Amino acid sequence: MPEPYRKILDNVYEIDLLEADDSDFERISKEKSLGLSLEELKKIRDYFKRERRNPTDVELEAFAQSWSEHCCYKSSKPILKRTVFTIKAPQNICVIAEDAGVVDFNKEYAYVVALESHNHPSALDPYGGAATGIGGILRDVVCMGAQPIALIDPLFFGPLNYKEKLPKGTKHPQYLFKGVVSGIADYGNRVGIPTIAGMVEFHESYISNCLVNVGCIGIIRKDEVVHSRVGNVGDVYIMAGGKTGRDGIHGVSFASAELGEESEKKDIPAVQLGYAIMKEPLMHACLEANKKKLLTGMKDFGGGGLSCVSSEMAYAGNKGAVIELDNVPLKQEGMAPWEIWVSESQERMMMSVRPENVKKVLKIFEFWDVPATVVGRADDTKRIKAVYKGKTVLDLDLDFLLKGVVYDRPAKYVARDEADPGFKMPDLEDTALRMLNSPRVGSRESIIRRYDHEVRGNTILKPMQGKINHQTHGDAAVIKPLVDSFQGLAITADVNPIFCKQDPYWGAASAVDEAVRNLVSVNSRPHSMADCLNFGNPEKEDRMADLIKACEGLYFAANAFETPFVSGNVSLYNEGVKGPIAPTPTLLGIGIVKDVRKTVSSDLKETGNILYLVGKTGQEMGGSEYYRMLGLKGGLVPRVYPEKTKKSMNCILKAMDKKLVRSCHDLSTGGLLVAAAEMAFGGDLGVELDISEGNMRTDYKLFSESNGRWLIEVRKKDAERFESVVDAKKIGRTTKDGKLKIKDGKIDLELPLEELRDKWDAALEKE
């Protein structure tokens, strides 16, 4: 290999940084796909000047992993520190925040939360990228010692019926959609963890870069929590699970760059290969070893592979470590040390174990038929070392390696048009049918039925709710994690990317408001959230400004609702030849259900019950599905009024505890008309609404997506008590005539529910 590379051992090269000039730096970064900037390489050179030597290729690869955007959050860290990291809860509910958030559930137990992205891999290999996303998020929860109990999958694609010529190297949204859903279904079903919540959005900005966000919830006794760090000097590193191969090479570098025309060929080795059949026994073995108190630390092999997991565990424990690369089980012969060091092959876990417990741990993994190997040992040097064929090929100061770099990048916000367009109200009957047939509104049942959401037998309130063969969307799912307790967890996923594209601040705040409403709808008190911040290239000022605005919106709303972010992820550089994605701060919301026997579903229950609207409807149509359908731009994105919503929330929960609420549904995409129709679908009942009060146009009343609103069903006999508890407006009743009837002054609409349901059911299939 030509200069500036010098071979020093089989498959190991010294790289001449000390004498390199700018052109050499650029050549090295490009040839080795490091993703390091000129300034970063110079900083690394200065480090090796102090070390009085040149780096090996293994060492330079270690910096490429640890200093990637994906691993060190070098663009987002300053923003997060002054926004979402500062939110305080009424009490300190977060026990630990490491690979996943560990949060108080009751006196003995905690629940564990993680939310991640697997966007770039899924854009190249939708089936494998989505499947390994599920595998990774399971490991994040298991490495805290928790048993996974639920999965969620917020997904974002281009329009499924996209007919224009696709950019070179871009796969059709329909192909991506089918592959991603299949990958999630096959992996989740095989490991036996229910997928109980999620969302699917469609927007033109995701054509070049789909988003696959995945979340996991786990449960653990507080005295069994294990940390992602080495416990003691002399502890042994044990690597368990799958073998290490050339799949997943440069995964974090790939995730920290824009997708381009050549990504299909150039970056496909960065996509990992999942193996779900290995994952299930691996989880069992890890949890058994931890339960028997045999582990001093545990961490999953995530971004950066062996490089990051061994370094981060040692650094977090204020220790150092030596790794023997010859002991790492390999898929292929002839792998270079740098490939072994950075491979992101799946289904691997790292544990630190006291020497006297090594045989016991290995015996547990042998019982579960899971390979486990001693690969290293912790020491007190505060350095990470890698040995290959008896020679040290990596020796780095952990503080310098892992503190990474941080940037305060310039930002310039591009203002959006908030002026409302003038237009004549269209035919409302036709608009209602089109609305329910919209892929953004229509039934997700064809996706939900691909997932086993009942495995383990703890899913109390499922994603589809209502009468058999007439089920509708629920606002949140509810799971009962403990055998001897009726306490439950409500889980939801929320964000409206069209709101966020029109106004990142209010769009992000609206996502918090919707998560709160969804959790309240099933009779749970909002408790915590996780965020996955999906944005474009932070080196471009307008993209950076959108990220800042969105984080400020998240902070405003979540701080006001006193609902902290206990875990999260940042995924940047989500853009391709067609430009950036819409700003997408995906949220996972978790609520505490005091008694799962008192959960409330969204389907109407009985004929003759009263329907109440809680909250105020505003002419805030910016980013609404109504405007999108009509091809209209501009308008105000719905504002968030936390104090008003909190007051309504507390009153609704009080009414639910008194069993005064028969069904409840929040108003979001599509507004009042969609909420009423979906409730009617689930109960197979008709609805009569009278919305004559007020001077607002009928279409705004029906399709406004204002925040802070719920539609609630109450028995006649409970109406007086309900009204004494909740400030709500009586707007209708349930009927048995199979129609959705709407009156607004002189306007009378009569829509057959069967026709509406046919449109709703066919929204995705028609594409």
Query: Which whole number is the average pLDDT over 712-731?
Result: 98
Tell me if 151 sits within 8 A of 361, measured CB to CB: no
Q: Is 227 a catalytic residue?
A: no
pLDDT score for 342 = 93
Query: Which whole number is the average pLDDT over 599-622?
Result: 97
Q: DSSP string spanning 369-400?
A: T--EEEEEEEESSSEEEEEETTEEEEEEEHHH
Amino acid at 183: G
pLDDT of residue 252 exceeding 90: no
Q: What is the pTM of this model?
A: 0.95
Q: pLDDT-derived band of residue 302, with 50, 70 and 90 as boundaries?
A: confident
pLDDT score for 591 = 97
**Burial classification of residue 730, based on how many CB atoms lie within 10 Å of its CB (0-12 exposed, 13-18 middle, 19 or more buried):** middle
pLDDT of residue 18 exceeding 70: yes
Query: Which whole number is the average pLDDT over 65-89?
Result: 90
pLDDT score for 552 = 98
Query: Which whole number is the average pLDDT over 721-748?
Result: 97
Sign of the C-alpha dihedral computed for residues 110, 115, 121 and 126 taken in this order:
positive
pLDDT score for 288 = 98
Distance of alpha carbon 596 from the chain centroid: 25
pLDDT of residue 94 exceeding 80: no
Q: pLDDT-derived band of residue 267, with 50, 70 and 90 as boundaries?
A: very low
pLDDT score for 350 = 97
Q: Which of 526, 524, 592 is nearest to 105 (CA)?
A: 592
Q: Is the peptide bond before 4 cis (omega within 30 degrees of 0)?
A: yes
Q: Please tell me whether residue 752 adopts helix, strand or coil conformation.
A: strand
pLDDT score for 253 = 52
Bridge partner residues of 743 (DSSP): 690, 748
Residue with tokens 């993703």: 35
| 227-266 burial: b if 16+ Cβ within 10 Å, else e | bbbbbeeebbbbbbbbbbbbbbbbbbbbbbbbbbeebbee
* Distance from C-alpha of 685 to C-alpha of 736, rounded to nearest angstrom: 5
Which structural domains are found in the chain, ordered by start? 5-71 (1.10.8.750)
pLDDT of residue 254 exceeding 70: no
As a whole number, the mean pLDDT across the chain is 93
* Distance from C-alpha of 170 to C-alpha of 120, rounded to nearest angstrom: 12
pLDDT of residue 310 exceeding 60: yes
Q: Please tell me whether residue 618 adopts helix, strand or coil conformation.
A: coil
Question: Which of 271-285, 307-321, 456-470, 471-485 is predicted least confidently?
Answer: 271-285
pLDDT score for 1 = 41
**Range with top average pLDDT, 30-34, 257-261, 400-404, 603-607:** 603-607
112-158 pLDDT, tens digit per residue, is 999 999 998 898 899 999 999 999 999 999 999 999 999 999 999 99
pLDDT score for 6 = 84
Q: pLDDT-derived band of residue 2, with 50, 70 and 90 as boundaries?
A: very low
% of the chain at pLDDT higher than 70? 96
pLDDT of residue 270 exceeding 60: no
Q: pLDDT-derived band of residue 30, with 50, 70 and 90 as boundaries?
A: confident
Q: Is 118 a catalytic residue?
A: yes
**Which of 70, 203, 227, 250 is labelled catalytic?**
70
DSSP H stretches of helix in 67-154: 69-72, 77-82, 119-124, 126-142
